[in-house]
Amino acid sequence: MTEELKPLRTWSHLVGQRRRPSEYEIVSVGLLWHARGETVPFEVEGASFMNDWVMRYRDNSAITHDDWDSFRDPDELVYRTYNILQDGQESYVDGLLDQYDNEGHDESLSGAWLDVLEALYTPGRYLVHTSQMASAYLVHMAPASTICNCAAFQTADALRWVSRIAYRTASLAKAHPDRSFGESERATWENAPAWQGYRELMERALVAYDWAEAFVALNLVAVPAISEGYYRAMALSARRNDDTLLALMAEAALRDGDRARRWSQALVGHMLDVESNRAQLQEWVDAWAPYGTSAIEAFAGELPDVPDRAAAGSEALRRAHSSAGLATSDG
C-alpha cells in the first residue's frame, strides 16, 4: 500500500496558482485527454483516419504554443452564465417581436423593402448556419478546452440567429403570403451575386482544416465580415427604411459578435506569446481578408440607403486585425 497523500485545496493542476481558482477555472481548464502530449491522440487501432486528421491539423499546426491550456476566455463564461446571459437577451428579442407584432409592423413594410428582405435578409440563415458549422469545427479541433468552450458558445450563438431569422421568415411569409418568404432562400443563397462573396468565404473557411487557419478564416475574417455586412450595414439600412425591428434585432446579434471579437483577440494574443507564430498568422490574415472584403462589398453594395457601408465594413475588418495585434491587410 502506498502512503495516503494530503488533500489539496483545489484540483492538482491549479494548486500552483496563488489565488483561489474561480468557478470558470474549476470547470473549464485542461479537459482534453487526447491533447496530453501522447504520440497519438486516440489510443485505438483502426482509428487512423481520426488520428491522422487530429495530428495533422491540430497537433502539427503551424501555430504552436507550449501551454494552450493557459488560454483564458476574457468573458470567463461558463455554461450556466451563458444561459443566464442569453436567456435575458432572448427575452429582449421576444419583447421586440411582441411589441412590433402588436403594432402591425410586417404589414406596414413597403414593397421595395420587402424586396430587400427577400433578397438580402431571409437567405441569411444559410450564411449564419455555415458559421455555426465552422464554429463547431473549432470546438472539436482546438487544442485546449478553454478555446473549445468559446467556440461552443459561438456555435450556439449562430444557432440562435438561424432560429430568429427563420422566425422572421415565417412571420413575413404569414403577413405576405404572395411573396416567396420561406421558399426562395436557398436559390438566392446559391445564385444571387450579393451572396456569392459570403458563400465563397464560408465554403472555403469550412474546408480550412488546420484548426488555427480555420480560426483565422472564421473568427478574424468571416465573423467580423458577417457582423459588418449582414448585421451592421443591414441594421442601418433597415432603420432608414422604417424596419426598426430588424435594426434592433441585428444590433442584438452584434452583441454576440462583440463577444466573439473579445475572445478572438485574446486568442491571437495568446498565439503571439510565441513570436514565430506571427508570420504565419499574418500570412493567413493576408490570404483570407480579401474574401472578407469582397463579401462585405458584394453584400452591402446591394443594400439601399447605405452607400458608404461597403467601404466602412471593409475598413472595420482591417481595424479588427489591427486591434488583434496583426498588421492591417490591404485586402
Partner 1 sequence: MALLERSEWYDIARRTEWTPGYVSDDELYPEGHSGDYDIPGEAWSTYDEPYKISYREYVDIQRQKDAGAYSVKAALERMDLRSKVDPGWISTLKLHYGAVSVVEYNAGLMESRFVRWARSPGMRNMGTFGMLDEIRHAQLQLFFPHEYVPTDRQFDWAHSGMKSNNWGIIAGRHFFDDMMMTRDAVSTSILLNFAFETGFTNLQFIGLSSDAANAGDFSFSKLIQSIQSDEARHAQIGTPMLAMMIENGEKERAQRLVDVAFWRSWKLFTILTGIPMDYYIPLDKREGSFKEFMQEWIVTQFVNSLEDLGLAKPWYWDIFLADIDEHHHGQQLGTWSWRPTLWFSPAAGVGPDERDWLEEKYPGWNDTFGKCWDAIIENLKRGDIGRTVPGTLPIICNMSNIPIRRTTRWSTTGGSTTSARSPIAGSSSRTRSATPPTKRSLIACSPARSSPPTSAVCCSTWASACSATAVATPTTTSGCPPTSRVPTRRRRTDRWQHSHSR
CB 299 within 8 A of CB 197: yes
229 contact partners, CB below 8 Å, separation of at least 6: 198, 295, 296, 299, 300, 309, 313
Shortest distance, position 202 Cβ to partner 1, whole Å: 9
The nearer residue to partner 1, 24 or 315, going by C-beta atoms, is 24
Distance separating alpha carbons of residues 105 and 213, to the nearest angstrom: 43
| Backbone phi, psi, residue 31, to 5° | -110, 10
Q: Locate 66 and state its grid cell.
A: 507550449
Shortest distance, position 206 Cβ to partner 1, whole Å: 6
The nearer residue to partner 1, 24 or 278, going by C-beta atoms, is 24
The nearer residue to partner 1, 101 or 308, going by C-beta atoms, is 101
Shortest distance, position 284 Cβ to partner 1, whole Å: 17
Shortest distance, position 104 Cβ to partner 1, whole Å: 11
Cα–Cα nearest to 238, from 224, 250, 220: 250
The nearer residue to partner 1, 174 or 319, going by C-beta atoms, is 174
The nearer residue to partner 1, 132 or 241, going by C-beta atoms, is 132
Shortest distance, position 28 Cβ to partner 1, whole Å: 7
Q: Locate 22 and state its grid cell.
A: 474561480
The nearer residue to partner 1, 12 or 178, going by C-beta atoms, is 12
Measuring CA to CA, how many Å separate 140 from each of 50, 147, 176, 204, 211? 11, 10, 42, 19, 9
Shortest distance, position 24 Cβ to partner 1, whole Å: 9
Cα–Cα nearest to 237, from 84, 69, 120: 120
